[in-house]
């Protein structure tokens, strides 16, 4: 009798487990939730990035618009897209970010038609004039689906209905430069240099290079928003920092930069004005003038022209 009772209990438990498993499988049938419905969405939606060089040239990116449905549409579907500041504002509020709307955008396919029997089509977007923007700002091109025909439901921009394309701009000062200048030593005199050097990105407005004149210190150059006028051209003031490559840290003391030209007035390059430590955006030239060992200054004067 006891064995019969155990068998009955075991059978009932197995039936409950089996029924539960069947219900779980039915719940995972994604087509059931789409049956008879159609949604316009971006394939692989949301935020992604495309790095831009600081040049005026146009860049085109593309993405797929998709009709999510259990069966391919039986009629052509027209999908309309637009640039949405509202979607950008909501994304910033949700993520706690401070992205700005990229100001130079054109949707090359503001409407796309998805043929009957198909589910998707490409949208192409053009952006340009990255050189006119601050590389330290964070930009997005927020392209959203705004409308769709044929009873298709438009997905929410913060869910599946948008391509939020982050557009970081590369440091505009990182490049190869022709460097002419010298290190002026109190006993050895003028030690000239004439060579090509690479200025590498440190952050969005700072570059770094090897060599303080001919001496193996590194120099960081930070471009500021403060300006001076040099021979009629508005130039950006720069801050130079002398780095010990052995430690990667600024030299602890005795370094600095000059406010006016200090060096050998008869050595190449001959200064055209007494202005120093600035960047000329027209000629893409840095003029830097600094020192280390303040007790007996070793002076660097260099003109760096972008190649």
Give the separation between CA 61 and CA 39, rounded to whole angstroms. 23
| 31-166: CATH superfamily | hypothetical protein (bacova_03559) (2.60.40.1740)
pLDDT exceeds cutoff 70 at 25: no
Using CA atoms, how far residue 222 sits from 41, 155, 201, 203, 211, in Å, is 43, 44, 10, 9, 16
| Percent share of the chain, pLDDT over 70 | 88
- What letters, b where the CB count within 10 A reaches 16 and e where it falls short, cover 152-168? bebbebbebbbbbbbbe
The mean-pLDDT minimum among 29-38, 164-173, 294-303 falls in: 29-38
pLDDT exceeds cutoff 80 at 23: no
Give the separation between CA 92 and CA 70, rounded to whole angstroms. 33
Contact partners, residue 128, CB within 8 Å, separation at least 6:
56, 57, 58, 59, 104
Q: What is the DSSP letter of 259?
A: S
Paired sense of beta strands 100-101 and 139-148, if any:
parallel
pLDDT exceeds cutoff 70 at 85: yes
Average pLDDT, the chain: 89
Contact partners, residue 23, CB within 8 Å, separation at least 6:
none
Residue recorded with tokens 């002398």: 242
Average of per-residue pLDDT across 163-173? 97
Give the separation between CA 103 and CA 279, rounded to whole angstroms. 26
| pLDDT in the model for residue 282 | 97
pLDDT category at 70 given cuts 50, 70, 90 is confident
Average of per-residue pLDDT across 115-140? 96
pLDDT category at 37 given cuts 50, 70, 90 is confident
Structure tokens at 292: 């280390």
Instruction: Look at residues 255, 106, 263, 90 and name the one whose alpha carbon lies nearest to residue 192.
Output: 263
Structure tokens at 170: 């590369």
Model confidence pTM above 0.85: no
Average of per-residue pLDDT across 31-60? 87
Instruction: Look at residues 209, 183, 179 and name the one whose alpha carbon lies nearest to residue 267.
Output: 183
Average of per-residue pLDDT across 148-160? 93
For the chain, the structural domain boundaries read 31-166, 175-306
pLDDT category at 35 given cuts 50, 70, 90 is low
pLDDT exceeds cutoff 60 at 17: no
């Amino acid at each position: 009798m006891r064995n019969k009772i155990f068998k009955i209990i075991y059978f009932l438990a197995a039936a409950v487990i089996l029924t539960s498993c069947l219900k779980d499988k039915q719940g995972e049938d994604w087509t059931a939730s789409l049956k008879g419905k159609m949604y316009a969405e971006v394939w692989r939606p949301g935020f992604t990035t495309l790095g831009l060089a600081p040049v005026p040239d146009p860049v085109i990116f593309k993405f797929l618009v998709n009709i999510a449905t259990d069966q391919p549409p039986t009629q052509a579907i027209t999908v309309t897209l637009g640039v949405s500041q509202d979607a950008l504002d909501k994304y910033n509020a949700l993520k706690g970010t401070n992205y700005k709307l990229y100001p130079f955008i054109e949707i090359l396919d503001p409407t796309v038609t998805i043929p009957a029997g198909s589910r998707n089509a490409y949208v192409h977007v053009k952006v340009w004039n990255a050189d006119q923007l601050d590389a330290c700002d964070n930009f997005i091109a927020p392209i959203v689906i705004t409308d769709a025909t044929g009873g298709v439901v438009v997905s929410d921009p913060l869910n599946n209905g948008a391509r939020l394309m982050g557009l970081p701009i590369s440091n505009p000062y990182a490049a190869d430069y022709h460097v002419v200048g010298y290190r002026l030593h109190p006993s050895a005199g003028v030690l000239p240099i004439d060579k090509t050097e690479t200025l590498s990105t440190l952050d969005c407005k700072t570059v770094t290079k090897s060599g303080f004149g001919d001496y193996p210190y590194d120099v960081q150059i930070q471009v500021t928003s403060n300006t001076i006028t040099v021979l009629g051209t508005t130039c950006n003031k720069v801050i130079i920092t002398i780095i010990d490559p052995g430690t990667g840290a600024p030299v602890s003391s005795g370094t600095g930069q000059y406010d006016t030209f200090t060096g050998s007035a008869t050595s190449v390059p001959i200064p055209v004005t007494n202005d120093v430590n600035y960047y000329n955006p027209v000629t893409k030239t840095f003029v830097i003038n600094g020192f280390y060992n303040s007790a007996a200054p070793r002076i660097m004067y260099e003109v760096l022209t972008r190649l």
